[in-house]
Amino acid sequence: MGMEYWAHFFTLIVLVIGAYLAVFLRNLLASVIALSAMSLALSLEFYLLHAPDVAIAEAGIGAGLTTAIFIFALRGVRRD
Amino acid sequence: MVGKALKWVSFLFFAVMLIWGLTLIHPFGEPLQSDMDSYFIQNAQKECAANNVVTSIVFDYRGFDTLGEATVLFTAVMGVTAIFRGVMKK
Amino acid sequence: MRMSKIVRTITALIFWAVVVFGLYVVIHGHLTPGGGFQGGAVIASSTALFLVAFSKEEFLKKYKDAFLSLAESGGLTLFISTAFLGIGTTFFYNFIANSGGIFGNPVPFGVNNGDLNTGGTLPPMNMAVGLEVFGGISLILFFMFLGAYLKPFNKEESEVHKE
């Protein structure tokens, strides 16, 4: 029950909360932001598990590029 | 009524099976077969002359994987370009 | 389509920092965590930042899309040809490692200070894959950005969308 245990614990709590919000939020833009936050927490979890390669890939693709593509798609769907 | 009961029963069945499987999983950080890992850790720095063993596995020992990944990305970009090829003229 | 002046100024400040960090990840791929794929994705995220903040014309002023597809196909060709250069022994053979020339210094076993002049064929392959991933993901982002502003096909459909 050291420091690392609690770091894992809180990162996984943030991960689950982000995933729940990404599914159940009504506002689509907020849902995309929640997905991005979940991806960032997942990259932190990969870093805590001593896999920095996967952490960089997850932070770059999951939190950066996927969010941008989703926001472009939302802009295209909504005509106002 | 029956549909709701069926939903809950299937949910409970899935959850119990998942938790049972999690208890049977191998302990974290102790792989069953470690011959390949020991070989890479002992010899990768000498054979590939790189400090990052992950990169030397990805680009040298398992190069075909990376070749396939690059080809998949190339094919995806080709498909997107083929779909949106008329957009540039507008 | 352009965003506010604050967003544009911050983007102009951050853009080259993101590009330089991606180049660092690519070039030091055989020493530190990361590599071609991750570094290329970081450089491509700078493209996403630029597209969100600025407009299509300013992006086309910076990169021609012919340049992006040239980067993509050229990176893949460089990767495959670097792999084929070692065909004397096997495909993907690391023939430059420990040869003493460029990228050819030997590495001691265990924890040591990194030397950039090591790695054999790994640094050229990292750069090739980084170029390919940058070009490919930037092209996908650019075309999806253009597709997001497509006009509806006919008049009735646009009337339906307006309600």
CA distances from C3 to A74, C42, C52 (A): 16, 22, 8
* Shortest Cα distance, chain C CAs vs residue B44, angstroms: 9
Q: What is the rounded distance in angstroms from the CA atom of residue A43 to the CA atom of residue A48? A: 9
**Distance in angstroms (rounded) separating the CA atoms of residues B69 and C15:** 27
Q: Cβ of C137 and A65 within 8 Å?
A: yes
Report CA torsion sign: C89, C92, C96, C99: negative
* Nearest-neighbour CA in chain B from C18: distance (Å): 22
Q: What is the pLDDT of residue C163?
A: 45
Specify the pLDDT at position C52.
84
A28 touches chain C (CB under 8 A): no
Cβ within 8 Å, pair C147-B84: yes
Radius of gyration, alpha carbons of chain B: 24
Name every residue whose Cβ is closer than 8 Å to that of residue C27 and which is 6 or more positions away in sequence: C39, C116, C123, C126, C127
| Beta-carbon separation of C38 and A57 below 8 A | yes
| CA–CA distance, B81 with B86 (Å, rounded to integer) | 9
Within 13 A of B31's CA, how many CA atoms are on the CB side? Answer: 6
The chain-wide mean pLDDT, for chain A, equals 90
pLDDT digits (tens, 9 = 90+) for A20-35: 999 999 999 999 999 9
With beta carbons under 8 A apart, name residues in chain A contacting C141. 65, 68-69, 72
Phi-psi region of C17 (alpha: psi -120 to 50; beta: other; left: phi over 0): alpha
Burial pattern C17-30, b for ≥16 Cβ within 10 A else e, equals: ebbebbbebbbbbb
Confidence of residue B89 (pLDDT cuts 50, 70, 90): low
pLDDT tens across the length of chain C (163 residues): 677 889 899 999 999 999 999 999 999 988 988 888 999 999 999 998 898 888 888 888 888 878 998 999 999 999 999 888 888 888 888 888 788 778 888 888 888 888 888 888 899 999 999 999 999 999 999 988 888 776 655 555 555 555 4
Domain ranges within chain B, ordered by starting residue: 2-26+40-89
Q: Given pLDDT bands bounded at 50, 70 and 90, which one contains residue B87?
A: low
User: Is C126 among the domain residues?
Assistant: yes
The pLDDT of A7-23, averaged and rounded, is 94
User: The domain containing residue C82 runs over which residues?
Assistant: 5-106+116-145
- Residue C36 located in a structural domain: yes
Tens of pLDDT along B24-78? 888 877 778 888 888 988 888 888 888 888 888 988 888 899 999 999 999 999 9
Q: How far is A45 from chain C (nearest CA, A)?
A: 16
- Contact flag A76-C150 (C-beta cutoff 8 Å): yes
Six-digit token string for C97: 């490692």
Structural domain includes residue C33: yes
Q: Min CA distance, B60 vs chain C (Å)?
A: 6
Q: What is A14-26 written as a DSSP string?
A: HHHHHHHHHHH-S
DSSP secondary structure, B9-38, as one string: HHHHHHHHHHHHHHHTSPPTT--S--HHHH
Q: How many domains does chain C have?
A: 1
Give φ, ψ of C147 to 5 degrees. Answer: -70, -25
What is the distance in angstroms between the CA of the first residue and the CA of the last residue of chain C?
22
Residues of chain C neighbouring A33 (CB-CB closer than 8 A): none
Domain contains C47:
yes
- Whether C91 is covered by a domain: the verdict is yes
Q: Out of C45, C140, C152, name the one closest to residue A60 (CB).
A: C45
The answer as to whether C157 is a domain residue is no
Among the partner-chain residues C35, C37, C161, the one whose CB lies closest to the CB of A79 is C161
Q: Please report the pLDDT score of residue B25 as a whole number.
A: 86
Residue C162 lies in a domain: no
| CB proximity list for B59: less than 8 A, separation 6 or greater | B66, C35, C36, C92, C121, C122, C125, C126, C129
ipTM over 0.95: no
> Domain total for chain A?
1
Among the partner residues C33, C92, C136, nearest to B63 by beta-carbon distance: C92
